[in-house]
Amino acid sequence: MVYPIVAYGSPVLKRATQEVDPSSAKTKTLIDDMYETMYASKGVGLAAPQIGLSSRVFVVDASPFAEDVEEEESIFLKEFKRAFINPVIIEEIGELWSYEEGCLSIPGIHEKISRLRDIKIRSQNTNGDWIEEQLSGLSARIFQHEYDHIEGILFPDRMTPLKRRMLQGRLKNVSAGKVDTIYKMKFNVK
């Protein structure tokens, strides 16, 4: 099932999410639907709040970035497709680096955001097993962006106050529905 994407300004996007049962049929169906919605929207990541659910789940498929990086990272990104259930960032390390980010919930706006290059994470798979791993570069960035969603943080929250003020009119247009997208959107989702 393809869900509409929840737009910037909706309260559901600003709330921290609740843990889910990783092995339940409901969670597995949610993950399938999230992949279908992400692909239909031409995204590389999608968090449950972006379809109106306060669930601690997100999906990623970084393969579209595989051609934009060095060969070693490219191989990893081609295979970096998975669901993260009840994820936790254990440690953030490395240097800050800026990279232009966008978001399905904030269409038409792309800005450079600084994030740490390396993270150590833990999350569950659909069997309920905990998996711990380290991510670097774009995979770490994509994870951090989607993780922010389940914590109630959007990428404009990571910009300087001046930059946010400069984008205020465009952000208000998104929340008012004055956007053009290839996918359906929902506005003011509680």
Q: What confidence tens digit (pLDDT) does each residue in 124-165 have?
A: 999 999 999 999 999 999 999 999 999 999 999 999 999 999
Position 66 confidence tier, pLDDT thresholds 50, 70, 90: confident
Share in percent of the chain as helix, strand, coil (round to 5): 40, 30, 35
Report pLDDT digits (tens) over 156-190.
Answer: 999 999 999 999 999 999 999 999 999 999 999 99
2 Rama class: left (phi>0) / alpha (psi -120 to 50) / beta: beta
- Catalytic residue (choose from 101, 132, 146, 151): 146
- 146 classed as catalytic: yes
